[in-house]
Chains A and B, each alone.
Chain A
Amino acid sequence: MTQKMAITLDVNGTGHEIRVEPRKTLCDALRADCGLTGTNVGCEHGVCGACTVLMDGVPVRSCLMFAVQAQGKALRTVEGLSTGGKLHALQQAFTDNHALQCGFCTSGFLMLAAGTLEQQPDIDDESLREVLSSNLCRCTGYQNILRAVRQVRDAGKAGAR
């Protein structure tokens, strides 16, 4: 046990003042200290992508960084996708296309897709496939996940939150 550090995490536009050991990973701090349990912790070594969040607009694996490193960064998690009780276009498309079964990988896929479509709204099919290949879905829903994200890309709704 080392001395806890007082930090502020900016998550979905809200400041969370928390005290954490420096060894606490960002995903654990989000879940245990900020109470945002939508981000899932999978492999804890950067392979599965379940813990993907957006940091300053780009997808990162939150198990591969410490919470203390995220100070001063704008974080976005799956809790920040829907607005006013209305699902984000990606969430709706995942639902409509049966792009989840157990749901464990879903928040990671959603944040990866959200960050990707915001950066590259016109990403081509092959690149999209490659981007999504970084995350694991063990219910093997890949085709439906691809279909859902393509649908949102084609509808140009990525920016609509």
Chain B
Amino acid sequence: MKPPAFAYHDPQTVEEACQLMSTLDNARLLAGGQSMMPMLNMRFVMPDHLVDLGRVSALSAIEERPGALRIGAMTRQRDLEYSPLVRARCPLLADAIQWVGHRQTRNRGTIGGSLCQLDPSAELPSVCAALDATLTVQSARGTRTLAFADFPAGYMTPSIEPDELLTHVELPDWPAGHGHGFVEFARRHGDYAVVLAAALLAVDAAGRITRASVTLGGIGPAPVRVGAVEQALVGQVASATLFRGATEACRSIEAMEDVHAPASYRQQLAVVMSRRALEAALASIGSPASSTGAAAH
């Protein structure tokens, strides 16, 4: 249970980090370490070089951009949790962050680390899927941006090259007063979810849904946007009955099966969690972020 030997690098700038990643063989990036350190301790990963981003201060910032919130990849989950800007501009993220690990792990864990780890049951990738986030990655070869929908290449595999690093993520605004809900079912609070759901709703003055986003985590190899549910909601007047009918579509999503739960159990959870997320979203319309979904544990 001790990490393997490696050469340690602690660059101060993104450019230095990119330079290191472009020249070193078998190098891995270290962000907050809350998943990487267990993997090193258990020797699931054996890098020859570890490039620690902990001293690259330019990667830790929460900034307002026109139409979006821009978050540096090394921003600690704790800083997201306590940010008034996140609560005001991106309440879904404020809801979700309460579910990420525990206080000690949020003090170290980063948004970029979680996104690149890309665990299908993790909260932050599903938030990015729900919001149609845009990611920016950089290498010595240049910079590119990609939609979150194109980010997962497979189970726990982001579509970024070994010499690239995620620098920041942009979370597009939803209209002021929109509804947001985040719920999950886990065996214990702080564990990875068996199934989680994120929902966003915008409604007009008559209560008619003008825009909907429904995302499930923990069911497929990457977060799943449930287009069938979204389409069934738009144009309808929001209500518990509407949600109950629409979320039945989640039962036919192809689901993972593992030691924690069979596929049919996850499909059942997908129906229930997406309904609860929508109900929480509807209840939150017009009010700022609150912790939702406490019923799930």
Contacts and interface: CB of A to CB of B under 8 A. Distances in A.
Q: Name the residue among B8, B33, B102, B105 with the largest chain A CB count within 10 angstroms.
A: B102
B103 A65 contact: no
A30 interface: no
Nearest to B7: A2
Nearest to A69: B54
Interface in B23-60: 33-34, 37-38, 40-42, 50, 52, 54
Given A5-B8, A22-B6, A59 B107 contact: yes
Given A21-B5, A44-B41, A58-B78, A134 B102 contact: yes
Given A44-B1, A63-B41, A52 B104 contact: yes
A22 B102 contact: no
A60 B37 CA distance: 13
Q: How large is the interface on A (under 10, 10 to 19, 20 to 34, 35 or more residues)?
A: 20 to 34
A5 B37 CA distance: 19
B277 to A, nearest CB: 20
A45 B188 CA distance: 17
B35 to A, nearest CB: 8
Given A45-B38, A64-B33, A64-B38, A23 B2 contact: yes
Interface string A34-67: 0000000000111001001001001111011110
B9 to A, nearest CB: 9
A22 B108 contact: no
A60 B104 contact: yes
Contacts of A91: none
Given A46-B34, A134-B102, A61 B108 contact: yes
A29 interface: no
Contacts of A130: 189
Contacts, number: 89
Contacts of A52: 104
Given A2-B6, A64-B34, A64-B37, A69 B52 contact: yes
A49 B37 contact: no
Contact of A22 (B50, B101, B105): B50
A106 interface: no
User: Secondary structure at chain A's binding surface: helix, strand, loop or mixed?
Assistant: mixed
Given A23-B6, A44-B1, A45-B1, A116 B41 contact: no
A53 B42 CA distance: 22
B190 interface: yes
A133 B3 contact: no
Contacts of A131: 102-103
A64 B5 contact: no
Contacts of A160: none
A68 B1 contact: no
Interface in B142-193: 188-190
A68 B8 contact: yes
B4 interface: yes
A155 interface: no
Nearest to A58: B107
Listed residue (A23, A116, A130) with the most chain B CB atoms within 10 angstroms of its CB: A23
Nearest to A46: B38
Given A22-B6, A23-B4, A23-B5, A133 B102 contact: yes
24 contacts: A2-B8, A5-B8, A21-B5, A22-B8, A23-B3, A23-B8, A44-B1, A45-B38, A46-B105, A49-B102, A55-B107, A59-B104, A61-B104, A64-B38, A65-B37, A65-B108, A66-B52, A69-B33, A69-B52, A116-B103, A130-B189, A131-B102, A133-B189, A134-B102
Interface of A: 1-3, 5, 21-23, 25, 28, 44-46, 49, 52, 55, 58-61, 63-66, 68-69, 112, 116, 130-131, 133-134
Given A23-B2, A58-B78, 19 more contacts: A23-B4, A25-B3, A25-B41, A44-B2, A44-B41, A45-B1, A45-B42, A46-B34, A59-B107, A60-B108, A61-B104, A63-B41, A64-B33, A66-B33, A68-B8, A68-B10, A131-B102, A133-B190, A134-B103
